Amino acid sequence: MKPGEKEKIAIIEEIKCPKCGTLIKNIKNKKAAKGRILKKVLAIGSAGGIGAWIGSSAGIAMFGSAISGTFPFALVAAGVMALATSKSSSTIKCPKCGTKLKFK
């Protein structure tokens, strides 16, 4: 690692508001990003748990076996939750007009 590389702790993205033209800086701190990933993992984990719970009760009702229903439901719930969390993390509001802007 070269000297001075430690300073690069933030990833800065710039986006121009299509409504009012304000340049908005989105500073992504690496620590914050790590926290978001952890939150996402927790969300996916809990969604998987809920899916497994629904799946197991559905499995009992439909097939008489909890295992047959557990896995597909858990996977679907985790997938939906992953999509929802990734969408919310890339959206920012314009401080001037309140327009929702999407970051890549």
The binding site for Zn ion (CB under 5 A) comprises 17, 19-20, 22, 94, 96-97, 99
C-alpha span between 96 and 19 (Å, rounded): 10
Nearest by Cα to 39 from 103, 102, 88 = 88
Beta bridge partners, 24, equal 15
Task: Pick the closer one to Zn ion by CB: 5 or 14.
Answer: 14
Residue 29 Cβ vs Zn ion, minimum distance, rounded to whole Å: 23
Task: Pick the closer one to Zn ion by CB: 15 or 43.
Answer: 15
Residue 37 Cβ vs Zn ion, minimum distance, rounded to whole Å: 29
Task: Pick the closer one to Zn ion by CB: 34 or 93.
Answer: 93
Residue 22 Cβ vs Zn ion, minimum distance, rounded to whole Å: 5
Maximum distance among all alpha carbons in the chain? Answer: 63
Angle at which helix 30-62 crosses helix 66-89, to 10 degrees, equals 150
